[in-house]
Amino acid sequence: MAAEEVAMKRLQGKVAIITGGARGMGAATARLFVEHGACVVIADVLDAEGERLAAELGQAARFVHHDVTDEAGWQRLLAQTAQAFAPVDVLVNNAGVLLFKTIADTSKAEFERILAVNLVGCFFGTKLAGAQMVARGRGSIINVSSVDGMKGANGLGAYSASKWAVRGFTKVAAMEFGHKGVRVNSVHPGGIDTAMGNPYAEPKAEVNKRYTMVPLQRVGEPLEVAYVNLFLASDESSYLCGAEIAVDGGMLTGQYYAGFPGAPGV
């Protein structure tokens, strides 16, 4: 292998666990991590999709059926990771679920389910994988929050609550783990063209019509989030801890109004 090819492998020798890794942003991250030299465990409840992806990626990947709300399941996942490859170096807490309902229409059970997957799952992963990383004096934990963890959105009470909590939890974890060699950061995707963000698989041109008030004027791609995860997983981000990175096409900068100065054609 040529020297320049080796240099391009930004995660050479690292072992990563990606929850919600069977599709969408998780699958894009798994592919990119393997491309850059990592061994990857794809953790998900979507067995068929996860098995297909692991087969596609070859010997550098394994699929493990995993429910992020199961604490004992996390212990098994970490043991299986170490047995297949080595102890975990990178954890991407990517698994998440969405609920579109007003607060008035949301039941206690629905609210608690969103918190269980999006927040408690992140807590278990950070606590248990983080403990292994702390014992070895190194590691990177990437908690996937959302732009809705940095703003409000009507109809997303449970989801926003969970993602704001992930954001705050990441700050505390960064303070507690950072001085022990483990970096913890959060990623905040905006609208991304995934099964969650585009559940009816509409053509990209149609989806983009809903993004006219976003500066980049389009929906994001899973790979665009994956590249941010790659940066945070790599040693290139060695001085980032407690950071929050919005991958949102500029959504959080404010609303873009067509017809105002600076708009196309004006």
Task: Measure the CA–CA gap between 137 and 170, rounded to whole angstroms.
Answer: 18
List helix spans (H) across 137-201.
Answer: 157-177
Enumerate the active-site residues: 159
Beta bridge partners of 187: 144, 245
DSSP H or E segment with residue 240: none
**For 164, what's the count of Cα atoms within 13 Å in the CB-facing half-sphere?**
11
Backbone φ and ψ for 144, nearest 5 degrees, come out as -85, 110
Say which residue the tokens 């708009």 belong to: 263
Burial 85-96 (b: 16+ CB within 10 A, else e): beebbbbbbbbb
In this structure, what is the dihedral angle of CA atoms 242, 42, 96, 217, given to the nearest 10 degrees? 80
Which amino acid is it at 220?
G
